[in-house]
């Protein structure tokens, strides 16, 4: 050694099994030491080991948006999808398997999920309205009558009373910060109670307004995504733009 802080060129040539010692750190601080091909190889190995030291292993089973993660240099398809993902396939999978996104191990501790929680019960009974409408869309033909589309969607919401009961539980579980919030919660409870008790489904105007709002909101979403458009020449007809492989 020339001094206590620097390795000589001859000493680095002697090599070592793993290039991750303190001496290696000091040696590679100055790239002018790299005088031949072997030194370049050692430097590359050193960089790889330093990178690996800072990598965390990913559990991809419940990782949201896992389709855009690079998990290995040997997985060419995954790497290709990371830079040019198949958006349509990813979106359809998310709509069909919402649990992978809404209940995943990154954002939710699976072991601590309380199945008696009102929100969990509500999720099992009625998933987000976009998902419910997409299921109806999948079963529809190429040409869809908008009124029939709406009727099938509303009929898929089978247990109005139970949904309303759970909504009231969720509202009651909300934190009441001040008097204004308490008044809002009380009005919501009264509104939901009316949905629950006012006649049968077909006779409950307030419930029909709610389901129509859900339908129109998600119908517009399907149009924005390029999955539906208004039919030509026929009033109330819709054209299904994506029908293959779904």
Q: Give residue 15's pLDDT band: very low, low, confident or very high (50, 70, 90).
A: very low
Distance CA 14, CA 121 (A): 66
Lowest-pLDDT range, 14-18, 23-27, 62-66?
Answer: 14-18
Q: Angle of helix 87-96 relative to helix 129-139, nearest 10 degrees?
A: 110
List, for residues 190-232, the tens digit of each pLDDT value.
Answer: 888 877 777 665 567 778 888 888 899 888 888 888 888 887 7
The three-class DSSP label of residue 9 is: helix
The model's pTM: 0.55
- Sheet containing 228-230: order of strands: 143-145, 237-240, 228-230
Q: What's the pLDDT at 116?
A: 76
Nearest alpha carbon to residue 222 among 90, 160, 106, 131 = 131
Distance CA 185, CA 226 (A): 37
**What average pLDDT does range 162-172 have in this prediction?**
82
Q: Angle of helix 129-139 relative to helix 205-224, nearest 10 degrees?
A: 70
Q: What's the pLDDT at 158?
A: 76
Domain ranges of the chain: 9-53, 59-107, 114-240
């Amino acid at each position: 050694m020339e001094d206590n802080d620097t390795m000589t060129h001859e000493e680095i040539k002697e090599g070592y099994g793993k290039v991750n010692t303190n001496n290696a750190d000091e040696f590679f601080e100055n790239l002018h030491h790299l005088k031949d091909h072997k030194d370049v190889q050692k430097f590359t190995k050193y960089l790889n080991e330093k990178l690996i030291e800072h990598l965390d292993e990913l559990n991809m089973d419940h990782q949201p948006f896992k389709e855009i993660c690079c998990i290995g240099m040997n997985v060419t398809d995954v790497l290709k999808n990371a830079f040019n993902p198949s958006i349509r396939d990813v979106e359809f999978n998310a709509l069909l398997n919402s649990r992978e996104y809404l209940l995943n191990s990154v954002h939710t501790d699976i072991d601590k999920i309380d199945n008696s929680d009102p929100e969990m019960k509500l999720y099992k009974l009625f998933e987000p309205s976009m998902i419910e409408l997409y299921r109806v869309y999948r079963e529809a033909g190429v040409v869809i009558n908008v009124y029939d589309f709406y009727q099938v969607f509303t009929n898929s919401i089978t247990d109005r009373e139970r949904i309303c009961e759970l909504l009231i539980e969720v509202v009651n579980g909300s934190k009441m910060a001040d008097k204004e919030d308490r008044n809002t919660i009380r009005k919501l409870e009264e509104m939901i109670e009316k949905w629950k008790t006012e006649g049968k489904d077909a006779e409950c105007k307030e419930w029909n307004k709610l389901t129509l709002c859900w339908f129109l909101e998600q119908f517009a979403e399907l149009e924005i995504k390029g999955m539906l458009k208004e039919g030509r020449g026929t009033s109330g007809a819709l054209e299904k733009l994506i029908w293959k492989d779904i």
